[in-house]
Structure 1
Amino acid sequence: MASIREVSTGSGARSVTELRNLAVAEFISSWPMAPYAEFYTFTGNADAPRKDYGEFNAGDTRTTSTDYTPKEKAPQFASVSLKIYGDKVQTDIAYERRGGDIGSQRVTDLRRFAQSLGRYFMDATINHDNARDSEQITGLKAQAAALSRVVTWGTNGTVLDASTLKSFLELLDEQILSIPGGPTCIIANGKFISRLTNLARDYVRVEAAPDVFGRQQLVTVYNEIPIVNAGFKADRTGLVIGNDERVGTSNNCTSIYLVRFGEQQDVTFATNVGLDVQDLGLVGTKYVTLVEFDVDLVVLNPNALVRIEGIRF
């Protein structure tokens, strides 16, 4: 498994290891997918990794003195084009002029920015769409739709309560089994996690696990599969996965995502040097720290992703 920490190696003379390590740690703490997402690296701006679309049709039979029937299927390749996520962190020189520790203030500003960038990239992981904005990656919502991997629970959605729990768990288990090897995690919002935890106590448990800073965090698990809370958007204007999605005549639905991550397989993130941090020094009246993340999200195995929509409360 190649995590974002492992692939963030830096680039150029202005790349600062200490600042990069700090930014990566803060980014990880605010990007809920960090413990589960897998990356692969390549050189350049674009790549064409091979998809797993079943071109390997293994297994056959034959009789004595005969050969196996030839099977040929052209391989398919994905199109990867790195997108740049990031911004410039600016710290006013006035802090220094007024006797403050400008180094400490820059670190504080970088830490807060990296946390916000993690939340922003969580929104990107689900909701960004390259078809709408060419500067964005294509998130899981659009990827699932393009691959026809969206399952609707009820024509107009269905309320998840005690009376429908059995039906929902059957659907959930069926979709889990549709992913070869099973999903790495389930992505949902806090309302869904709370509802499922209270209704399905025999199947859901909460575990304590340390985060990147060693702090104990609670992780909800359904049949040994972690459920990740997508949380709020970076600007706090709403949830990454809302409760206002439209299914049929209902506009109060939510979705969950079942995802299997892999390193250059299944669902994977592509990058060159990961999250990079460069000290641009004093520019005008501001000390400038450049934070950039060249990345793309690609589905190499269409069976590694399922979105279940139409869940109501």
Structure 2
Amino acid sequence: MALTLIEAAKLSNDTLLAGVIETIAQESPVLQRLPFIEIVGNGLTYNRENVPPSAAFYDVGDDWDESTPTFTQATATLKILGGDADIDNFLRATRSNLQDLEAAIVQLKAKAVQALFDDTFINGNAAANPRSFDGIDRLCDPAQVVSMGPNGGTLTLAKLDELIDRVRGGKPDLLLMSRRSRRTLNEIARASGGFLEADRDEFGRMVQYYDGIPIGLNDYIADDQAVGTSTDCSTIYAMQFGEGGLAGLTAPGGLTVERVGSLETKDASRIRVKWYAGLALFNSVKLAKLVGVRP
């Protein structure tokens, strides 16, 4: 069964781990929604559906045509993500009355892990860096790419609707874009005499919606991408999460917080935030992107 980080945190009795997971999820719209599948081993080989089977009408006595779906075999491997946080024993003893130093340092390390995951989720390239996994920009099928034009163009609601329609089997679960693209979308909505819907998430933060689809922000979607002669372009992604769509992969136990203990060479103790994680796209029509979005 696939669980999001938030649901996994509810099943944990480790208050430090639960706090780390909450910190990570608060800062990332992807990690709030992306389900993770636990796998045994260091990777998962799966079949990604390309062409669905067909059906037809027949007369009595007709020969029936056989039609089967076609698949591409893909492999997603778990990568080691994390970092160490050292807590100086002197500072812990002398400043613990002002704040919980351990909690503060671990929280900052958790945010660093979240930032690295969010960056890799978009821009990950296992060919360039074998220690990381491929992000959605590389996982997206070329047939699922919508273009604003040979040299890009200003975002329009028609193009955004076309992007949404490329995701099949239901609406996308998330539209992911840069802050600049979100500002442009707000301008378009106001110019048309309306506003984007808004509601609070489970952390009490305001989330905007377009056509009932939550809008997520990712600071690692570049606004200086080159498309044709333009060098000020960005990308908007639409995705559907789940075991038949886009899902994260994790080792049993998921994200862990490990107390390494006292260090030999300095007066400090170490805590390790560790995650064996990956990303898999089980059906190419569950992910699409709109390229060439200019300001």
CA contact (8 A) 1:157 1:312 kept: yes
Of 302, 305, 309, the residue aligned with 2:284 is: 302
CA deviation after TM superposition for structure 1 residue 76, in Å: 3.7
**Is the CA contact (8 Å cut-off) linking 1:206 and 1:218 kept in structure 2?**
no
* Bigger relative CO (Cα 8 Å, ≥ 6 apart): 1
Supply the AA of the counterpart residue of 1:222: Y
CA distance in 2, matches of 1:97, 1:226: 45
Q: Which residue of 2 aligns with 1:68?
A: 64
Q: Distance in 2 between matches of 1:289 and 1:103?
A: 18
- Determine the structure 2 residue equivalent to 1:41: 38
Give the 3 Å change call, closer, same or farther, for CA 292–301 of structure 1 in structure 2: same
% identity of equivalent residues: 22
Q: Is the 8 A contact 2:9 2:22 kept in 1?
A: no
- Given that residues 163 and 289 in structure 2 are in contact (C-alpha distance below 8 angstroms), is that contact kept between their aligned partners in structure 1? no
Structure 1 residue 258 and structure 2 residue 238: aligned?
yes
What displacement does 1:65 show? 4.9
1:122-147: CA deviation from partner (whole Å, max 9, x where unpaired): 11111111111001111111222x54
Q: Deviations over 1:215-269 (max 9, x none)?
A: x2111111111111113xxxxxxxx11221111111111111111111x221111
Q: Which residue in 1 is equivalent to 2:152?
A: 157
Structure 1 unaligned spans of 5+: 161-167, 232-239
Normalising by the residue count of structure 1, what TM-score does the alignment of the two structures yield?
0.83
Partner of 1:30: 27
Paired residue for 2:189? 200
Amino acid at match of 2:223: N
Measure, in 2, the Cα distance between the counterparts of 1:102 and 1:218: 31
1:70 Cα deviation from its structure 2 partner: 2.9
Unaligned runs of 5+ in 2: none
Q: Distance in 2 between matches of 1:47 and 1:92?
A: 40
Give 1:86's aligned residue. 82
Return the TM-score normalized by structure 2. Answer: 0.88
Contact 2:55 2:67 in 1 (8 A): no
For 2:217 and 2:118, how far apart are their aligned partners in 1? Answer: 10
C-alpha RMSD over aligned residues: 2.5
Could you say which residue in structure 2 is the equivalent of 1:163?
none
Deviation at 1:119, TM superposition (A): 2.1
How many residue pairs are counted as aligned between the two chains? Answer: 288
1:248 paired residue among 221, 225, 228:
228
Provide the C-alpha distance between the structure 2 equivalents of 1:230 and 1:29, rounded to a whole number of angstroms: 13
Q: Report the equivalent of 1:19.
A: 16
1:218 aligns with 2:209: no
Aligned equivalents of 1:148, 1:85: Cα separation in 2: 31
With 76-85 and 126-135 compared, the bigger mean Cα shift is at 76-85
Q: In the aligned structure 2, how far is the partner of 1:97 from the partner of 1:205?
A: 50
